[in-house]
């Protein structure tokens, strides 16, 4: 597991352990804090945010800021280049963030570049809607 070039502390190791166990999932600083407290090794929220900021700077962690009313979520991606190649869908009802690799959406990406000269940054692109589960249909 890549640790980055920053400082190394017991708290950072605990945060990295949680992130590696939840690789590919979106987690918040509160999720990490709750888990560490529940496991008997509480870490201050400010320390967790500082650690997350270092990991984002080191390119180990991806940060998603969905909107102004929702806190940021983070994702540990052992192969971070994968996340730059797909779209993200945000359910406005349950707040889940989905990664979607789809040939049709890749076509949209190509169209925007070819016809509008605009290169889409997939790490910052989020399409909003209601997921199949919240709509009560099979996805």
Question: Over the stretch 6-55, which tens digit does the pLDDT of each residue have?
Answer: 455 888 889 989 998 988 778 889 999 999 999 998 989 999 999 999 88
pTM over 0.75? The answer is no
Phi, psi values for residue 92, rounded to 5°: -80, -10
The CATH number fitting domain 82-135, selected from 2.30.30.60, 3.40.50.300, 3.30.1490.190, 3.30.830.10? 3.30.1490.190
Which pLDDT does position 138 carry in this prediction?
Answer: 66
Please check the confidence at residue 5 and state whether its pLDDT lies above 50.
Answer: no
Among 66, 17, 73, 65, which Cα is nearest to 41's? 17
- pLDDT score recorded for residue 99: 78
Instruction: Give pLDDT, residue 85.
Output: 65
CATH number of 10-76: 1.10.10.10
What CA–CA distance (Å, rounded) separates 49 from 64? 14
Distance (Å) of CA 115 to CA 52, 101, 126: 38, 22, 21
């Amino acid at each position: 597991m890549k640790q980055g070039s920053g400082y190394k502390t017991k708290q950072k190791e605990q945060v990295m352990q949680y992130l590696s166990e939840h690789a590919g999932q979106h987690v918040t600083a509160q999720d990490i804090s709750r888990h560490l407290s529940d496991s008997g090794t509480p870490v201050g929220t400010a320390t967790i945010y500082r650690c997350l900021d270092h990991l984002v700077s080191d390119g180990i962690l991806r940060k998603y800021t969905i909107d102004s009313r929702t806190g940021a979520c983070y994702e540990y991606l052992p192969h971070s280049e994968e996340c730059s190649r797909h779209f993200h869908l945000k359910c406005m009802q349950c707040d889940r963030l989905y990664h979607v690799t789809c040939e049709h959406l890749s076509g949209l990406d190509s169209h925007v570049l070819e016809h509008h000269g605009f290169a889409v940054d997939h790490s910052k692109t989020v399409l909003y809607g209601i997921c199949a589960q919240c709509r009560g249909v099979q996805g």
